Amino acid sequence: MNFEWTNFYMEFANELLKYKDNRKELIEKMKLINNINISKITMGDYIDPFSIFALFNYQGIAHQKKINILESIKNEFTIEVETPKIFDGIPAMNIYKLCFFNPKSNAIQNEINSLWELFEIAINYAKNNTNENRQNFIEKYDTINIKGTKFKLTMGLFWIRPFNYINLDKTNREYIKFKLPNHSQNIKQLPNGKEYINLCDKLLEDIKKINIKDFPELSYKAWQFSKYDKNKFLKEVYITDKEYDKLKNLILDKKNIILQGSAGVGKSYAAKRLAYSIIGEKDNERVKMIQFHQSYSYEDFIMGYRPKNETDGFELKKGVFYKFCKKAEKDGRDYFLIIDEINRGNISKIFGELFMLIENDKRGEEYALELVYKDDEKFFVPENLYIIGLMNTADRSLAMLDYALRRRFAFYDMKPAFESEQFKEYQKNLKNSKFDNLIKKVEDLNEVIKEDLGEGFCIGHSYFCNLETVEIDKLSLIIEFELIPLLKEYWFDDKEKVNTWIKNLTEAIK
């Protein structure tokens, strides 16, 4: 871990404060900085200090570009500390939301003045934490009521004084909830000024109990906690390195895939983690899971009229797919929609006229279509949205798949992974002979199922995963409530075979 950036950021904040009452000169000075577009955060002569920091702290900025920007800032503002080269623990903004003020507001001047005042008070309180400065911080913090700012303000405070103010972005909040659950209630919503400053004080004490020294280290650990890559995927999902590459390339190329397999092969588990590994972090804002069923409709998925809550009549409501597409369109980063039981829905009915738009070569604005319920708007599926469908191949209650679905999706078979290196390692670490006996018996059972019903009916490995210790009661429950119901469904017309295998499985753990 390297937090050399903290000195530079604090020094730059000190330099910016000198321009609090000379913002025109500040704008002219910022125009001299290499590799930034100052127009993204200015409205005429209006500029605020937090948005300036956002210009080099956004998601996806190239590492060398950031160094070059800071080197240019160092020269123009005569900053004496070294330009940082490592940026561990720095939270980043959405590139499309760099402004801390609301550009559409009728009170831009007041908003920017308030941001400058908070900026000044935050620096003063960090330097001299008197009761007067504390109260001034609380009062000014509470006056900031700018649309779209929310938790973003805490990120700005962290940038300028990273050892005094906690950043409460989603990554940090999830980490705090996991590591310090007693603070969960304090961060569910944006705290007011008093709550926020009390939280900073209390967290500075409590993080030491989990061997974290300060807020920059907490921010770094939180990022590591949420970071997700191929290596993490392969530790959690039991497929080979080669199969992962194939699966990743398949969805990036086709944009729509279906993971198909029997019960217990880990389809939904793998789907989420595939999305995380491509995104690079566990971000549930960009990974959404829904489930199709026989009553699922176009109105649920795209748009339709629904009864009003309080009055008679109906109102037009946007569906889950419409809203998720719009979210992806505004962001630009990758988004993943996971559809469980995709074969249970009436695909033509659910997608309607928009089914064509999910094809990989029909994405984007040039293929936009008018909506059934809203002909004054053209809708398209953005190129950065990927769809992962999940399908249970053992579900015999379903009719043949719609050909249109087959044509627009690539199908990937997921199989039981009892023979995988990862499962074998997991099994070895459990060190339990009864568990070993049961797994061997299930593998024998799968051979019988494969020959009798087909590979798509084999019992998956996930029923036996995530056991920290093995107890007979746990194995008995798996057999009784997971495996036996499957066998009764598979061989509903062959009671003798069912009873034989019930006996085989139960005897394996005696």
| pLDDT tens for each residue of 198-236 | 999 999 999 998 889 999 999 999 988 888 899 999 999
Tally of CB atoms within 10 A around 345? 24
Which residue do the tokens 């597409």 mark? 325
Q: Across residues 52-69, what is the average pLDDT? A: 91
Parent domain of 206: 5-226
Query: How does pLDDT run across 307-353, given as a tens digit for each residue?
Result: 877 667 788 889 999 999 999 998 888 999 999 999 888 888 898 88
417: number of Cβ within 10 Å: 20
Report the pLDDT averaged over residues 162-173.
Answer: 93
Among the listed residues 407, 418, 507, 508, the one whose alpha carbon sits nearest the alpha carbon of residue 459: 418
pLDDT beyond 70 at 401: no
The whole-model pTM stands at: 0.71
* CATH value at residue 386: 3.40.50.300
Residues 101 and 144 in one domain: yes
Domain edge (last residue) among 362, 386, 413: 413
Do 307 and 451 lie in one domain? The reply is no
**165, 197, 226 - which closes a domain:** 226
Question: Residues 435, 381: one domain?
Answer: no
Across the range 19-47, mean pLDDT stands at 89
Residues contacting residue 447 through CB under 8 Å, at least 6 positions apart: none
Give the Cα-Cα-Cα angle 329, 331, 335 (nearest 5 degrees): 75
What per-residue confidence (pLDDT) applies to 334? 94
Interval 278-297 mean pLDDT? 90
Dist CA 41 CA 52 (whole Å): 7
| Residue labelled with tokens 């398949």 | 250
**77 closest CA partner among 11, 129, 130:** 11
- Reported as a pLDDT band with limits 50, 70 and 90, residue 400 is low
pLDDT attached to residue 224: 83
Distance of CA 137 to the CA centre of its chain: 32
166, 69: one domain: yes
How high does pLDDT run on average in the chain? Answer: 90
| pLDDT greater at residue 396 or residue 302 | 302
Q: What is the pLDDT of residue 277?
A: 95
The string of DSSP letters for 189-206 reads S---HHHHHHHHHHHHHH
pLDDT higher than threshold 80 for residue 108: yes
Map tokens 């303000």 to a residue. 153
What pLDDT is recorded for position 281?
84
Whether 266 and 402 map to the same domain: the answer is yes
Does the pLDDT value for residue 405 go beyond 80?
no
Residues 6+ apart with CB under 8 A from 372: 298, 302, 303, 352, 353
Question: What is the average per-residue pLDDT within 472-491?
Answer: 91
Q: What is the pLDDT of residue 398?
A: 52
Structurally, the chain folds into a number of domains equal to 3
Same domain, 17 and 104: yes
- The answer to whether 218 touches 174, Cβ cutoff 8 Å, is no
Both 336 and 453 in a single domain? no
Same domain flag for 152 and 138: yes
Q: How many CB atoms lie within 10 A of CB 2?
A: 12
| Rounded average pLDDT over 140-160 | 88
Residue 470 pLDDT more than 80? yes
> Which range is least confidently modeled, 48-57, 215-224, 398-407?
398-407
Is pLDDT above 70 for 52?
A: yes
405 and 458 fall within a common domain: no
pLDDT at 35: 87
The DSSP bridge pattern shows strands 410-413 and 287-291 to be unpaired
The verdict on 108 and 237 lying in the same domain is no
Report the half-sphere exposure of 37 (CA within 13 A, side-chain side).
7
**pLDDT value, residue 396:** 54
Domain boundary among 226, 248, 277: 226
Are the CB atoms for 174 and 157 separated by under 8 Å? Answer: no
Question: Is residue 246 located within the same domain as residue 344?
Answer: yes
Query: Is residue 215 located within the same domain as residue 342?
Result: no
